[in-house]
């Protein structure tokens, strides 16, 4: 069933938009937000991108045609579009409460999406929300070039592991081919996207890798970022991103786990090369995500969360 056409018909009637995604936005979320803003701007629309917290420093180079704001505007009644969220609470509990009775457009590719929108376009077969916005541009006859293409390229690269994950399809490659054909400078893009590391992040990663452990006969690899490590290295929460990917490279590891101490518990991330469905594992632990990449939050101390996660994963890898 064509879920996009009713959305475009609804957007055609609207002049002002409010775009938002999940808390702690990643490359797909921010790339999709900026990409959709560029697309709608080309279409003649106006709007804002709502980011309650600051954008992570590593994405500070990303260009948006619309202002970034931190709260819902009170002087307009915008068309609200929620991107990359499996349920409304992913935008943050307080903000979700303010959006519950609004007309929402929900665009997402997560398995288990609750279809919380008034209009929903949910397709887990697509690699990323960035790919979904690219398909929207194609439907509108808008070429994938300039800042629109750059934002969508970021989104697709982020959620496909630079086209290395199993969610990379011929359609994904076709979209990337169009972006490159229309002039994206990959060298320039990579220089801006990759040259964003901080020395504190490097120190944190080095410290965390010293304490990696294996469980379940080597099938589960675990890396931890404790509050003590953060204080010792001067690292920020966003500097923990990517830790889990080191563990996934270990021989024999089926599920890689990163554990991070945050104020309200332990944030966990799960990665696999496809041997098991980590989205199902995360769901058992109250989280969500994708078959090869998932995560969530456990209200526990580090040791308790680790044992709970290991017990749950073991039931799958055995």
Task: Judge if 4-194 and 199-317 fold alike in CATH terms.
Answer: no
Per-residue pLDDT tens for 175-229? 999 999 999 999 999 998 888 888 999 999 999 999 999 999 999 999 999 999 9
Q: Is 314 helix (H, G, I), strand (E, B) or coil?
A: helix
- Nearest CA to 67 out of 17, 136, 10 is that of 17
**CATH code, 4-194:** 3.90.1640.10
Question: Are 142 and 42 a contacting pair, CB within 8 Å?
Answer: yes
Instruction: Give, in order, the Cα–Cα distances in Å from 193 to each of 154, 156, 205.
Output: 8, 13, 19
Residue 85 CA to residue 29 CA, distance in Å, equals 9
Q: Give the pLDDT score at 249.
A: 94
Pairing of strands 79-83, 68-69: unpaired
Residue 238 CA to residue 234 CA, distance in Å, equals 12
Bridge partners (DSSP) listed for residue 259: 224, 268
Q: Give the pLDDT score at 194.
A: 85
Residue 74 CA to residue 106 CA, distance in Å, equals 22
Domain ranges, ordered by start, for the chain: 4-194, 199-317
Question: Are 127 and 156 a contacting pair, CB within 8 Å?
Answer: yes
Tell me the angle at which helices 129-140 and 170-181 cross, rounded to the nearest 10 degrees. Answer: 60
Residue 265 CA to residue 268 CA, distance in Å, equals 10
- Nearest CA to 112 out of 277, 232, 1 is that of 277
Q: Give the pLDDT score at 1.
A: 62
Query: 199-317: what fold?
Result: Diaminopimelate Epimerase; Chain A, domain 1 (3.10.310)
In the predicted model, residues of the chain with pLDDT beneath 70 are 1
Per-residue pLDDT tens for 52-89? 887 888 898 999 999 999 999 988 899 999 999 999 99
């Amino acid at each position: 069933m064509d879920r996009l056409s009713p959305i475009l018909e609804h957007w055609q009637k609207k002049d002002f938009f409010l775009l938002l995604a999940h808390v702690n936005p990643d490359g797909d979320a921010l790339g999709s937000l900026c990409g959709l803003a560029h697309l709608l701007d080309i279409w003649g629309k106006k709007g804002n991108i709502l980011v309650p917290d600051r954008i992570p420093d590593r994405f500070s180079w990303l260009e948006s045609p619309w202002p970034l704001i931190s709260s819902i505007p009170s002087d307009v009644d915008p068309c609200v579009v929620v991107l990359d969220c499996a349920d409304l609470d992913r935008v943050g509990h307080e903000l979700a409460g303010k959006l519950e009775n609004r007309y929402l457009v929900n665009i997402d590719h997560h398995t288990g999406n609750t279809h919380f929108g008034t209009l929903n376009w949910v397709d887990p077969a697509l690699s990323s929300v960035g790919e979904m916005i690219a398909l929207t541009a194609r439907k509108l006859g808008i070429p994938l070039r300039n800042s629109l293409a750059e934002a969508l390229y970021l989104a697709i690269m982020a959620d496909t592991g630079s086209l290395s994950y199993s969610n990379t399809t011929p359609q994904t490659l076709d979209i990337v081919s169009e972006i490159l054909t229309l002039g994206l400078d990959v060298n320039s893009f990579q220089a801006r996207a990759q040259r964003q590391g901080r020395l504190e992040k490097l120190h944190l990663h080095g410290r965390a890798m010293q304490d990696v452990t294996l469980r379940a006969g080597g099938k589960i690899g675990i890396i931890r970022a404790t509050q003590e490590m953060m204080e010792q290295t001067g690292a920020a929460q966003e500097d923990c991103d990517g830790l889990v990917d080191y563990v996934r490279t270990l021989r024999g590891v089926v599920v890689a786990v990163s554990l991070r101490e945050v104020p309200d518990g332990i944030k966990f991330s799960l990665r696999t090369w496809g041997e098991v469905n980590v989205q199902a594992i995360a769901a058992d632990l109250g989280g969500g995500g994708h078959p090869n990449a998932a995560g969530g939050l456990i209200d526990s101390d580090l040791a308790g969360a680790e044992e709970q996660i290991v017990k749950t994963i073991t039931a799958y890898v055995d």
